[in-house]
Structure 1
Amino acid sequence: MGELVTSQFKLGIIAGGQLGKMLSLAASNWDVKTYILDKDLHCPAAPCSTEVIAGDPLNFDDVYQFGQRVDMVTYELEAINTDALKKLVLEGRPVLPEPEALEVIQDKGLQKSFFSDHDIPTSNYTLFSNKTEIEAAITAGSLSFPFVQKLRKGGYDGRGVSIISSQADLERIFDAPSIVEDPVPIQSEISVIAARNPHGEVKCFPVAEMEFNEQANLVELLVCPSTIDSSIQDEAVAIASHLIDSLKLTGLLAIEMFLDTSNKLWVNEVAPRPHNSGHHTIESIVTSQYEQLLRAIFGFPLGSTHIKMPSAMINLLGEPGVEGPVKYEGLSQCMEEEGVKVHLYGKKTTKPFRKMGHITILAPTLEEAKAKAKSVKSKLKVTSWKSH
C-alpha cells in the first residue's frame, strides 16, 4: 500500500479493549477511520472509533461479515476465528498480521514447536492432553516437581498458568490440552517488541524490564531502558528480529523473555499485537508501538525507536476485594508530579486486579522515574463508589 492514507480508508480492528482504543487514537492522526468488532458496544475503544459492530471474534460469520465491511483487518487479541480470516484473505481482503502466524501463536504447543524448529531458545517442554496423562507421568517418574503447566489455548494475563511444586498442588492441574515446562531460575523478565513491514524491514523497540505482581501475575512496574548488560540486550533484540522474520509476520510481535541466573535468555511467550509492555512508547519513544503497527501493516517505512527519555510504567489494577462502578483515588496528587502521564481505559466497572489504566512516568534518569513511580503507586488507588 504505502499511499493509502485517505479519509475514506476503513481499518477494521477485531476487539475494542484498551489496545484497540490506543490504536484507534493513533490511526486518527492519519485520518484513518477505525471500525471495531466487539461483543460490547460500549467497549473502551467505542468513543475513539468511527463505529463499533457487535460481534464475537470467535464466531466465523461475525468475523467474516465484519471483514467484508472494511478495507483491512487487524486485531488486538489472539482469540479469533482464523478460518474466517483466511477466507477474507483468499477473497483479497488484507488481514495483518497474517492468519497463519496467528494460528501458531494461538496454540502454545505449536508456538513451542515453532521455537524449537527455528532455534529460538526456550525451556524444555512436554505436551499433555489432560490431567490424567500428567498424573500418570508423575507416577511413572518421567515428570518431577516443580513444573509449570500452561493451557495450550485461551490463557492470557496470567490466566491458564499453574505452578505445580508438590503433591499438594495436584488439584490445581488443568484438565485440558496443555504444555508442561521446566521452571527457569529467573533473574529478570524482559520484553522486546519487534515490528516488520511487508518489505521485510524489521525494527525493535529498546528492551523493557518488568516486575510482576505475584498475586495477579500481571506486570506491576516496567522500566525502559533496561538495566541488564548491554550485550544481553543486543542478544534479546537479535532473537526478537529472528523470530518475527521466521514467522514472516507483518505487524508487531511482542516477545517476553526470561533472563536466568546464568545470564541465559529464554523466550517465554509471544503476542502478535500491541502489548502491555509497550505502553510507555507513547511518550518515551519517538514512534509509539501503535504508530509502528500502522506503519508496518500499511507498508510504510518503520519509525524511529530512539528513546526520548527514560521511563517507568505502572499498571492501574483494581484493588483486591473491590468490585463496582470505578473510582480513582489520588489522581490529582499524582498529576502534581512532573512527567506523569495518565491513561484511563474507560472501563466503567472495576474488579480485583482488572487493568483499568496505566501511568507512564518520564524523568531525566531511570532512578528518578522509578522513584516517582513508587510515589504514584502509593497515592493512586482504583476503588469503587460502592465502597464509599
Structure 2
Amino acid sequence: MEQRLTPQEAEIVASTRIGIIGGGQLGLMTSEAARAMGYAAVTVLDPTPHSPASVVARQIVGSLRDPAALHQLAQQADILTYEIEHINTEALRALQEEGQKIHPSPEVLAIIQNKYQQKEFLAQHDIPVAPYMPISSPADIEQAVEKWGYPLVLKARKDAYDGRGNARINQHEEIAAALEKLGDRELYVEQCIDLDKEIGLMIARNERGDTATHPVVEMIHERDICQIVLAPAPISGPLQAEAQDMARQAIDHLHGVGIFGVELFLDKQGKLWLNEIAPRPHNLGHYTIEACYTSQFAQHLRAITNLPLGPTQMRYPAAVMINILGTRNGPADPYWLDEYDSEHTFVHLYGKSETRIDRKMGHITAVGDDLVSVYEQAKEARAALSI
C-alpha cells in the first residue's frame, strides 16, 4: 500500500543497510516497511532473543546500552536509527565521531531524553509548553503550589514513558507519596493544563530540511497509556494547521532527521501547548500503515536515507486505532472469540510470547467513512480477541 519508489530511489534503497537499536514492535514494523521497500539489509539490536523484529530482520542479542553491541550493529549498517530513546547517547556520539551516520542524531536524542531539557529547549524557541520548574526538595513543590495552585504533575526528567515517571498531585497530602513514588530521580514539576483533548501528529524531516506532516489525531488515554487514536482529530481546520506548524517549528529548531511523534495539549480555551516529542515512530502513528498513502515507518526510512518524503494524506475519511493491551500475566495465547470485518479492520499482533497487564501486544486499525461507525467497528474487533 506504500508509495512506489522511483528507479533512482530504488537504487539508493537497494544499496543501503539499516541498523535499528531495539527490536520491539516499532522495530518490527520499521523492518517490515524496509523489507517491503527493498532495503539491502535490516539488523536490529535487542536484549531479548527472538525479539518481535527478528521475524523479518537479523538480530544481534545484546544490551541497548552496551558500546560493544552498538559497535557490532554499526558494522552491519550504513545508517543507524532507534525505536526507543532510553539508550546510550555517549556510545552513539563515539560512533558518530568514527563516521557512522545516525538519525535522529545523538545531539537531538540527548535533548529529548531529558524531558526537562526538552521543555527548556522548546521554551527558548518560543514554543508554548505547560508552565514548569525544577524540583530538588519538597519546598520547591510548595513554591509551585503557591505559584499555580493544584493540581500539579511531578515528573522524572529521564526514563519515563506511558505514565511511568509521572505522579499527579491534587492536594498537599499527596506530595510525600508522589516523591516516594519517583524515588531519588531528577525531577521537575508541571502545572496541569485545563485539558479539552490530547492530540498529536507524526512529522518527518530529511537531511535537506524538507518536512511532511501526517494528519492531526486525537489520543484517548487510560492509566496514562494511549489506548485509542482517532484520525483525523475532531477539531477545526485552523487548529489542525496550528498544531502542524508548531510541530514543524520544533523539529526545524532541533534540525531533526527522521520521523517524530509530537504530542500536544488542547486546553478548554482553545490554546495549544506542546507536551513532548518522541524521536522515532510512535503509537499515535500506527493507523498510517493502512490509512495513509505513506506509513510513518516508510516515511521514517525515507527521511533517514534522505529520499523525498512521501504523501501523507489519508486514504479513507476516518480511521481508528485501538491498542491491544495485555489483560493478565502469563504466556500469550491469542485466539478469536468471534468474527470481525476483515475487509475494513486490520489486526497487528507483535509476536510477544509473554503477556502482561497493560503490555502492548498489538493494535487494531479500522477504516471507513466516519469516526463514529469506525470507532464501533474497532471496538467490536478488539472485543472479539483474547490474548
Are residues 1:44 and 2:52 paired?
yes
Contact 1:203–1:302 (8 Å) recurs in 2: yes
Q: For 1:161, which of 166, 179, 187 is the aligned residue?
A: 166
Q: Match of 2:363, as an amino acid?
A: H
Contact 2:154–2:178 (8 Å) recurs in 1: no
Query: What is the CA deviation profile of residues 143-195 of structure 1, one whole-angstrom value per residue up to 9, with x for unaligned ones?
Result: 74321011000001221111011133221222321120000011011111110
- Offset of residue 137 of structure 1: 4.0
Contact 2:152–2:189 (8 Å) recurs in 1: yes
Q: For 2:70, which of 46, 63, 71 is the aligned residue?
A: 63
Are residues 1:186 and 2:186 paired?
no
Q: Which residue of 2 is the match for residue 254 of structure 1? A: 261
TM-score by length of 1: 0.92
Q: For 2:301, which of 294, 297, 318 is the aligned residue?
A: 294
Contact 2:335–2:386 (8 Å) recurs in 1: yes
TM-score by length of 2: 0.92
Aligned to 1:4, the other structure's residue is in SS state helix
Query: What is the CA deviation profile of residues 36-92 of structure 1, one whole-angstrom value per residue up to 9, with x for unaligned ones?
Result: 11111211111110x211121122332233223321100000011111111211121
Contact 1:16–1:44 (8 Å) recurs in 2: yes
- Offset of residue 30 of structure 1: 2.6
- Offset of residue 338 of structure 1: 3.7
Partners of 1:154 and 1:192 lie apart in 2 by 22
Partners of 1:345 and 1:133 lie apart in 2 by 45
How much is the aligned-residue C-alpha RMSD, in angstroms?
A: 1.8
Aligned to 1:112, the other structure's residue is in SS state helix
Aligned to 1:304, the other structure's residue is in SS state coil
Are residues 1:350 and 2:355 paired?
yes
Give 4+ residue runs of structure 1 displaced > 6 Å after superposition: none
Q: Percent identity?
A: 39
Q: Which residue of 2 is the match for residue 323 of structure 1? A: 329
- Offset of residue 4 of structure 1: 2.3
Q: For 2:214, which of 197, 202, 205 is the aligned residue?
A: 205
- Offset of residue 220 of structure 1: 1.5
Q: For 2:229, which of 214, 218, 222 is the aligned residue?
A: 222
Q: For 1:364, which of 366, 369, 373 is the aligned residue?
A: 369
Relative to 1, partners in 2 of residues 1:324 and 1:137: Cα closer, same or farther, differing over 3 Å? same
- Offset of residue 273 of structure 1: 0.2
Deviates more, 1:275-284 or 1:364-373: 364-373
Partners of 1:99 and 1:246 lie apart in 2 by 15
The answer for unaligned runs of 5 or more in structure 1 is 383-388
Are residues 1:115 and 2:122 paired?
yes
Q: Which residue of 1 is the match for residue 24 of structure 2? A: 17
Partners of 1:143 and 1:318 lie apart in 2 by 37
Aligned to 2:351, the other structure's residue is in SS state coil
Partners of 2:336 and 2:79 lie apart in 1 by 41
Contact 2:148–2:191 (8 Å) recurs in 1: no
- Offset of residue 142 of structure 1: 5.5
- Offset of residue 29 of structure 1: 1.6
Contact 1:37–1:57 (8 Å) recurs in 2: yes
Partners of 2:88 and 2:163 lie apart in 1 by 22
Partners of 1:70 and 1:295 lie apart in 2 by 16
Partners of 1:265 and 1:312 lie apart in 2 by 23
Q: Which residue of 2 is the match for residue 385 of structure 1? A: none
Partners of 1:284 and 1:142 lie apart in 2 by 44
Relative to 1, partners in 2 of residues 1:104 and 1:331: Cα closer, same or farther, differing over 3 Å? farther
Q: Which residue of 2 is the match for residue 126 of structure 1? A: 133
Relative to 1, partners in 2 of residues 1:133 and 1:44: Cα closer, same or farther, differing over 3 Å? farther
Q: Match of 1:300, as an amino acid?
A: L
Q: Which residue of 1 is the match for residue 4 of structure 2? A: none
Contact 2:44–2:53 (8 Å) recurs in 1: yes
Q: Which residue of 2 is the match for residue 386 of structure 1? A: none
Q: For 2:12, which of 4, 7, 17 is the aligned residue?
A: 4
Partners of 1:381 and 1:267 lie apart in 2 by 36
Deviates more, 1:177-186 or 1:60-69: 60-69
Partners of 2:242 and 2:157 lie apart in 1 by 28
Give the number of equivalent residue pairs: 373
Q: Which residue of 2 is the match for residue 80 of structure 1? A: 87
Partners of 1:342 and 1:83 lie apart in 2 by 38
Q: For 2:151, which of 146, 166, 187 is the aligned residue?
A: 146
Q: For 1:280, which of 274, 277, 287 is the aligned residue?
A: 287
Aligned to 1:45, the other structure's residue is in SS state helix
Q: Which residue of 2 is the match for residue 241 of structure 1? A: 248
- Offset of residue 301 of structure 1: 0.4
Query: What is the CA deviation profile of residues 220-239 of structure 1, one whole-angstrom value per residue up to 9, with x for unaligned ones?
Result: 11111111111101100000
- Offset of residue 376 of structure 1: 2.4
Partners of 2:138 and 2:173 lie apart in 1 by 16
